[in-house]
C-alpha cells in the first residue's frame, strides 16, 4: 500500500509508537521530539482534518450531523455501530495522511517516529521497521486519564490488551513510575534508535 515498503535502499527507518489509553505515549513522543527526532502525531492530524479537510468534515457531518468532537464522542459511546463507522472514517482519511507525511519526509530524516494509538487494532504493523509500545498498569493509566471512568473503560475495552501488543513489539517502555524514570528509559530508547545508522 505504501511505497516506502518497496524501496530497495532504506534511507529512513520508521518507528511506530503506540500504547493503550493514558499509557503516556504522547508524552514519550513529545520528549523524543524535544531530543531532535522527526515525529508524526496521529491525533494532531485528526485535529487538522476537523479544521481543514472538507471531505473528512463532510463524512463526519453525514454520519454524526455535527463536527463538534464532544458531540461525536457522546454518540459513539452510546452506539457501537457509530464507533465502528468512526474507525472506518479514520482508516479512510487519517491513516493515508499519516503515511503521506512519512513519504514526504522519507530520506530527509534518518529516523521517523510515528505515534498511532490504534496501530495494532488497524493492523498497521507491517509498515514499520520497529515498534515501540508504551505500557502502563491499568490502575495507573486510569488515574492519569483526563476522561471519566466510564469513558476511560469504554476506550480501554476496545483496544487490544498490552500482553498481545508486547508479543509483537520490538521495544517496551513501562511507564508506571516517575517522570525521572521515564526520562531514563527514553534516553535508553534514544541510544538504541541511534545505533541503527
Residues 176 and 163: beta-carbon distance below 8 Å: no
- Residues 131 and 169 sit within 8 Å (Cβ to Cβ): yes
**pLDDT grade for 141, boundaries at 50, 70 and 90:** very high
Average pLDDT over residues 152-175: 96
Quote the pLDDT of residue 160. 96
pLDDT at 178 over 60: yes
For the beta carbon of residue 22, count every other beta carbon within 10 angstroms. 21
Radius of gyration of the chain (CA): 17
**Is 6 a residue whose pLDDT tops 70?**
no
Q: Is pLDDT larger for residue 5 or for residue 16?
A: 16
Nearest Cα neighbor of 144 from 186, 178, 116 is 178
Which range is least confidently modeled, 54-58, 64-68, 143-147, 168-172? 143-147
Q: Judge whether residue 7 has pLDDT over 80.
A: no
At 150, phi and psi to the nearest 5? -65, -45
Provide mean pLDDT across the span 111-130: 96
Nearest Cα neighbor of 169 from 121, 140, 119, 132 is 132
Q: Are 31 and 190 in contact (CB under 8 A)?
A: no
pLDDT at 9 over 90: no
Reported as type and span, the H/E element at residue 100 is: helix 95-105
Least reliable range by pLDDT among 2-16, 62-76, 135-149: 2-16
Q: What are the cell numbers at 4?
A: 516506502
Q: Which three cell numbers stand for residue 84?
A: 465502528
Quote the strand ranges of 88-129, DSSP E. Answer: 111-115
Contacts for 77 with CB less than 8 Å, ≥ 6 apart: 83, 150, 151, 154
Q: Per CATH, the architecture of 11-194 is what?
A: 3-Layer(aba) Sandwich (3.40)
Q: What is the pTM of this model?
A: 0.93
Average pLDDT of the chain to the nearest whole number: 94
Q: What's the pLDDT tens digit per position in 36-62?
A: 999 999 999 999 999 999 999 999 999
pLDDT at 4: 55
Amino acid at each position: 500500500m505504501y511505497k516506502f515498503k518497496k524501496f530497495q535502499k532504506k534511507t529512513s527507518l520508521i518507528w511506530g509508537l503506540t500504547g493503550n489509553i493514558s499509557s503516556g505515549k504522547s508524552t514519550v513522543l513529545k520528549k523524543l521530539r524535544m531530543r531532535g527526532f522527526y515525529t508524526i502525531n496521529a491525533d494532531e492530524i485528526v485535529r487538522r482534518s476537523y479544521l481543514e479537510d472538507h471531505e473528512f468534515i463532510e463524512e463526519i457531518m453525514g454520519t454524526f450531523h455535527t463536527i463538534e468532537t464532544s458531540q461525536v464522542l457522546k454518540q459513539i459511546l452510546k452506539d457501537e455501530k457509530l464507533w465502528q463507522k468512526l474507525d472506518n472514517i479514520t482508516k479512510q482519511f487519517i491513516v493515508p495522511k499519516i503515511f503521506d507525511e512519512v513519504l514526504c519526509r522519507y530520506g530527509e530524516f534518518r529516523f521517523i517516529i510515528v505515534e498511532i494509538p490504534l496501530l495494532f487494532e488497524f493492523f498497521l504493523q507491517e509498515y514499520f521497521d520497529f515498534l515501540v509500545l508504551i505500557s502502563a498498569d491499568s490502575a495507573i493509566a486510569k488515574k492519569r486519564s483526563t476522561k471519566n471512568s466510564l469513558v476511560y473503560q469504554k476506550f480501554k475495552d476496545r483496544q487490544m490488551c498490552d500482553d498481545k501488543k508486547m508479543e509483537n513489539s520490538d521495544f517496551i517502555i513501562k511507564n508506571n513510575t516517575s517522570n525521572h524514570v521515564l526520562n531514563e528509559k527514553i534516553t535508553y530508547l534514544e541510544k538504541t534508535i541511534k545505533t541503527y545508522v
